[in-house]
């Protein structure tokens, strides 16, 4: 029972983390129509950013304060250099270019940080955990990460639903051309959305760094799982990404306990079930 509870908590916390990464991916895909295979690289960038910045600041949350704006600026540069050339091109060309970016980022990572795994320390004030039973505790840091992710998710939903930029993002998801025809420069909108997506993926990478080793290719599993979340939630839907990420996180964590032989396929079975019931995803337009 304790193990199930721990796994449930882990699943929710993992789901919240992949929500951060997947929300950026769903916005970029939903609004800009770009399949961005390099999205996982920005998660990796965040994790390595956490490694370096924490060596200077000594605290993962201070690293977050510095790392997120850096990631946003990096996103602006990458959009301006590469991504904006993809808007009028087909998906195959998008896949080719963003796959090339993965290779470039991986090589850059090896040059800058080497091929060995690294660890990022949990801040001293978040060492230890809540006692769940005589034998089990749940780490404070995981609770803090979950709370941070929930706060960020609520903030994002507020921005999307209640602010002018949120209205523009929602409108862009349904009709990009009309947004432009009504006087909104879609180049700036796309640049902002892409950079925000990079910042969200990097944020996930930064807060996840103390939870696992920081190693080459750390972003690739996140990319795949983020695509699964986007498909389950419905392309372009933040609400869908949130629900999809929690479902995936919990299914993955419980699958490892109750269906260990099939644990790697549980999330894909879930995706298939959702697609059979709702081909456009939970909150997406009908396919």
- Interaction site with another protein (CB under 8 A): 167-168, 170-171, 173-175, 177-178, 180-187
Minimum Å distance from CB 186 to another protein?
Answer: 7
Minimum Å distance from CB 158 to another protein?
Answer: 15
**What is the Cα gyration radius of the chain?**
19
Among 132, 153, 123, 133, residue whose Cα is nearest residue 245: 153
Cβ-based nearer residue to another protein, 118 or 167: 167
The DSSP secondary-structure symbol of 182 reads T
Minimum Å distance from CB 162 to another protein?
Answer: 10
178: which 2 tokens?
């009309």
Cβ-based nearer residue to another protein, 2 or 185: 185
Name the β-bridge partners of 118.
Answer: 214
Cβ-based nearer residue to another protein, 110 or 187: 187
63-66 long-range Cβ contacts below 8 angstroms, 24+ apart = 63/206, 64/203, 64/206, 64/207
Name the β-bridge partners of 131.
Answer: 137
Cβ-based nearer residue to another protein, 134 or 177: 177
Among 146, 147, 145, 141, residue whose Cα is nearest residue 129: 141
Minimum Å distance from CB 69 to another protein?
Answer: 27
Cβ-based nearer residue to another protein, 173 or 252: 173
Minimum Å distance from CB 170 to another protein?
Answer: 5
- 183 phi-psi bin (left φ>0, alpha ψ -120 to 50, beta other): left
């Amino acid at each position: 029972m304790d193990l199930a509870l721990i796994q449930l908590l882990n699943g929710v916390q993992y789901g919240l983390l992949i929500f951060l990464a997947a929300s950026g991916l769903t916005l970029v895909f939903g609004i800009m129509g770009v399949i961005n295979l390099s999205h996982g690289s920005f998660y990796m960038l965040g994790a390595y950013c956490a490694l370096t910045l924490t060596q200077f600041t000594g605290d993962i949350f201070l690293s977050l304060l510095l790392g997120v704006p850096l990631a946003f600026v990096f996103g602006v540069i990458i959009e301006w250099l590469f991504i904006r050339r993809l808007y009028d091109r087909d998906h195959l060309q998008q896949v080719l270019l963003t796959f090339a970016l993965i290779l470039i980022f991986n090589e850059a990572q090896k040059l800058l940080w080497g091929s060995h795994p690294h660890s990022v320390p949990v801040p001293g004030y978040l060492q230890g955990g809540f006692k769940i039973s005589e034998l089990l505790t749940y780490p404070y840091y995981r609770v803090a990460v979950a709370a941070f992710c929930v706060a960020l998710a609520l903030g994002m939903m507020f921005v999307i639903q209640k602010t002018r930029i949120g209205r523009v993002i929602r409108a862009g998801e349904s009709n990009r051309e009309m947004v432009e025809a009504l006087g909104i420069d879609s180049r700036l909108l796309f640049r902002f959305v892409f950079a925000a997506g990079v910042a969200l993926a990097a944020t996930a990478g930064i807060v996840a760094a103390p939870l696992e080793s920081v190693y080459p290719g750390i972003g690739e599993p996140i990319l795949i799982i983020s695509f699964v979340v986007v498909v389950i939630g419905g392309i372009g839907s933040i609400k869908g990404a949130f629900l999809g990420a929690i479902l995936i996180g919990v299914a993955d964590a419980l699958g490892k306990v109750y269906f260990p032989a099939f644990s790697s396929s549980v999330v894909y079975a879930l995706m298939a079930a959702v697609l059979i019931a709702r081909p456009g995803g939970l909150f997406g337009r009908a396919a």
